[in-house]
Chain A
Amino acid sequence: MCLGVPGRVLRVEGTVADVDFFGVRRQTRLDLVDEPVAPGDYILNHVGFAIRRIDPSEIEETLALYELLLREDSDDIMASDVRGEIDAARSATFDASAPAETDR
């Protein structure tokens, strides 16, 4: 669970960012990150929060591992931890009055 997952920031609104995680659009909270985040930046998301802005010049190496993991089957524990990290970010179309979406 400590692996986190990187994503590209699409839009920032207050303390929440819309983020593209390998084609999945989610919302990540920005309460914890320690520098300003802007569209085009990459962030490292852990349990629904951005914990670091990653410099765009350094992102290539970071992405390769995840691109490989996301091609793996769902029974691969490392791949499923990464998918869990994407699921930890709030669904961009989340509606607070909707029934529980957490049961699996």
Chain B
Amino acid sequence: MTTVPSPAATAAESELKFRDPERGRALTSAIERTCDQIGRSPVTVMHVCGSHEQAIAKFGLRAVFPKRLDVIMGPGCPVCVTDLPEVDEAVVLAEDGVRVVTYGDMLRVPGTSRSLADVQATGAKVEVVYSADQAVRIARRTSDPVVFFASGFETTAVATAAIVLDDPPPNLSILSAHKYIPPVMEIVAEMPHTRIEGFLAAGHAATITGWGIFERFVERHGIPVVVAGFEPLDILAGLARLTELIRDGERRVVNAFPRCVTREGNRNAQRQLWRVFRTTGGMWRGIAHVPNGNLRLRDEFAHVDARRRFAIDLKRLWNHAPSALTQQCICGDIMAGISSPDKCALFGKACVPDSPVGACMVSSEGTCRIWHQYGGHPSL
């Protein structure tokens, strides 16, 4: 292994990891026993959440997984799957003098030839916000046209929907790069090179959508889904249940995070989400065209849709060939679950957080960024 091993657990980490050490040990041996009973190697499961990968890597959980269990991160980083032309749209708007506000992770994501950080350095008005609400307040303070370049999965898209429905100032428009997770699970489940036997679904996204949303997926693909929280013990409990479902050939959804997730989810938030957005097909960077994977504003909200209010000319960015380094980036294969950061020739060498080649090294939810901080597979 070329990756750095996980940093030694601090006292605080051990405190949490072993908050209920007996339960932790019981869960890890249950997972091992179940994987042995399955008998195949590897048993491959995928999660689709940057926060899950952060917790798995930070708390060194791969060191306690049985050798035959492979837990991989799929397309769980919304910034990483934002397609080049979507970044280009924001770059062109900023170059044309529009004030572009966006979540911090989007700043350094490379577009075809430039990132928002690049145009900010040459004087364009680009600001980082932590919330959609902040974008509204910025727009209220100025008469400039303001575009909120909004990224994130459904958990974050609901906040954008809420500001659209709350009488936003007339100079504010939304450039939506929001993505919807359930459709990409269908794509990844059917990819020829992946053999995903189960999905660990992200607890907080399911807080909004409810776990019931995965029932149709399980019916169509015959792959079990377990909704799990983010504590080390939550993740172990989720994996223990998921491996049991795989062993028993049980095709169903199990909610292992009942303290935050219900079958119906947050109906108030869903109502606002679907009132404002509709799904359309679109490219997820490096992965595939995902039918129904993009969230775009409905016609009714054309008056706040940056794509309808501005003529965005992307062609002027497109006479640049992507750099040689970019062509070696395997971000897409990593998010599709067929490779890992330690198999990339650029990882930790030409591609580091301070000068990232691919989006997976930019975002705090990107697999490469997370492995670079915490190590991925521990050196065994």
- List chain A positions with a Cβ less than 8 A from chain B: 1-4, 29, 31-34, 44, 46-49, 51-52, 54-55, 58, 61-62, 64-65, 68, 71-72, 76-78, 80-81, 84-85, 87-90, 94, 96-97, 100, 102-104
Contact = CB atoms under 8 A, between A and B. Distances in A.
Contacts of A94: 137
A52 B364 CA distance: 24
Interface in B271-304: 272
Given A3-B204, A58-B259, A46 B159 contact: yes
Interface of B: 12-13, 15-16, 19, 49-51, 54-55, 58, 78, 101, 103-105, 127-134, 137-138, 140-141, 152-153, 155-156, 158-159, 162, 165-166, 202, 204-205, 207-208, 229-231, 259-260, 266-269, 272, 364-365, 369-370, 373
A84 B16 contact: no
B158 A51 contact: yes
B267 A78 contact: no
A90 B104 CA distance: 17
B205 A102 contact: no
B204 A81 contact: no
Contacts of A72: 12
- B interface secondary structure, majority: helix
B141 A96 contact: yes
A32 B231 contact: no
B128 A78 contact: no
A55 B259 contact: yes
Nearest to B370: A77
B105 A1 contact: yes
B134 A48 contact: yes
Contacts of A102: 101, 127-130, 134, 138
Given A48-B134, A96-B137, A64 B159 contact: no
B131 A78 contact: no
A5 to B, nearest CB: 11
